[in-house]
Structure 1
Amino acid sequence: MSEIQIEKNAALIVVDVQKGFEDPYFGRRDNPAAEENIAALIRDWRAQRRPVVVVRQDSAPGSPLAPGMPGNELKGLVGESLGPEAPDLFVTKSVNSAFYGKPNLDEWLRERGIGQIVIVGIQTNMCNETTARMGGNLGYRVLFVIDAMHTFDAFGPDGEVVTAEELTRATSASLHHGGFARVLRTADLLTAPATA
């Protein structure tokens, strides 16, 4: 693999790190270190003065992520890691892709000449993967930090459980093989040199 280089204005996209994902409704998850890694990357981005975008899912009534529900709130680690400053952009959405939220993420990135995005958050194979695929289609250089996210077990159409670990592995392979994103780990980013 070629050396990882992080562009000076690379945007960290923090997807749906919300309290509602702790609800038993979602079931068993993988990667218990996800939140710790997300926080480490937010702190690093802040220290390097790179842009941080925070995305929140506003789901339909009845969901743990619905507006007005405690689960709609961001987990405390997001605010704690950001420090006293607000994120550079705060996006709300009601679908999987952060590019279909408000305000318009694509417009915001292009106005600032940002061509590289780094995706972390919840869930690996849902909003994170959808955002990565769309980002790749839009021409962004996408870095997908597989250990700074997590997902949940899911039932397939045959009724069989597909584990969170299997879903994560499939997402990694699909994004990598399809050329949508470069899949890497938190430590790779924290030690990567910055480019001009």
Structure 2
Amino acid sequence: MELNESVVAGAIEDGYGDGVEVAADAALIVVDVQKGFAEPYWGRRNNPGAEGNIAALIDAWQASGRPVVFVRHDSVSPRSPLRPGQPGNGFQDLVEERRGKGSGPELLVTKSVNSAFYGEPDLDAWLRGAGVRQLVVVGVQTNMCAETTARMGGNLGYDVLFPLDATHTFDTTGPFGWTLTADELARATAVSLHADRFARVVRTADVLRGL
């Protein structure tokens, strides 16, 4: 299932994505790009291009010496493929083969909740200690840990960029039997982040041009 161009375009209306400027010390936050998310456990996903966009952003950040934060979800659920000790807890190859390869600062954060700001070590303290004021949040899932991290980053006063096409999620069933497709959830995340200015929803290409 593909993240349609119309979904991305609708999420960045009113000029969002135009003239993106990326700070010289902006931090890339790579959320939960783990092997377990490739398992059938999660159901049908969207945006098969997410991993390629995430890889391109990591490469660009590392080449420029900007800080990169890799976030890993250590699930406490006994059924989750992401729980520690399981193969699915590990990073996908596109992340693992890039860790430690950049010339800039790098941090590994582990967490068991949605926000990377509630992990170990303290992400906010690390970012502020480095003088970082701008974040670019990518990863999995769009409407879960990526969105929650972006929202909290906005609440903490960071300028947050959210490249929607460098995230993906899964079809989900909620209360009353309501079901939303992955693309519908991605659209909801984009509109919600945009409307309340938690983050600027952009494309990967916008960010790469702004480096």
Give the TM-score, by structure 2 length.
0.88
Secondary structure of the corresponding residue to residue 161 of structure 2: strand
Per-residue deviation, 1:158? 1.8
Mean CA deviation greater in 157-166 or 10-19: 157-166
- Count residues in correspondence: 193
- State the match for 1:77 in structure 2: 94
Q: Which runs of 4+ in 1 moved over 3 A?
A: 81-87
Per-residue deviation, 1:192? 1.1
- The alignment status of 1:88 with 2:111, answered yes or no, reads no
In 1: Cα distance, 2:99 partner to 2:136 partner: 16
RMSD: 1.4
- The alignment status of 1:101 with 2:143, answered yes or no, reads no
What are the residue-to-residue correspondences of 1:12-51 with 2, within 5 Å? 12-51=28-67
Deviation per residue, 1:134-176 (Å, 9 max, x gap): 0000000000010001000001212132000000000000000
Mean CA deviation greater in 99-108 or 156-165: 156-165
In 2: Cα distance, 1:99 partner to 1:55 partner: 10
Per-residue deviation, 1:83? 5.9
Mean CA deviation greater in 37-46 or 77-86: 77-86
Secondary structure of the corresponding residue to residue 6 of structure 1: coil
% same residue = 63
More strand by share: 1
- State the match for 2:145 in structure 1: 127
Q: Is the 8 A contact 1:53 1:91 kept in 2?
A: yes
Deviation per residue, 1:25-68 (Å, 9 max, x gap): 10000000000000000000001110000000000132100000
- State the match for 2:6 in structure 1: none
In 2: Cα distance, 1:114 partner to 1:83 partner: 20
Gapped runs of 5+ residues in structure 2? 1-14
Amino acid of the structure 1 residue aligned with 2:139:
G
Cα 1:84–1:4 shift into 2, 3 Å: closer
Amino acid of the structure 1 residue aligned with 2:177:
G
- State the match for 1:63 in structure 2: 80
- State the match for 2:156 in structure 1: 138
In 2: Cα distance, 1:53 partner to 1:11 partner: 7
In 1: Cα distance, 2:196 partner to 2:147 partner: 12
Secondary structure of the corresponding residue to residue 81 of structure 1: coil
Secondary structure of the corresponding residue to residue 64 of structure 1: coil
Gapped runs of 5+ residues in structure 1? none
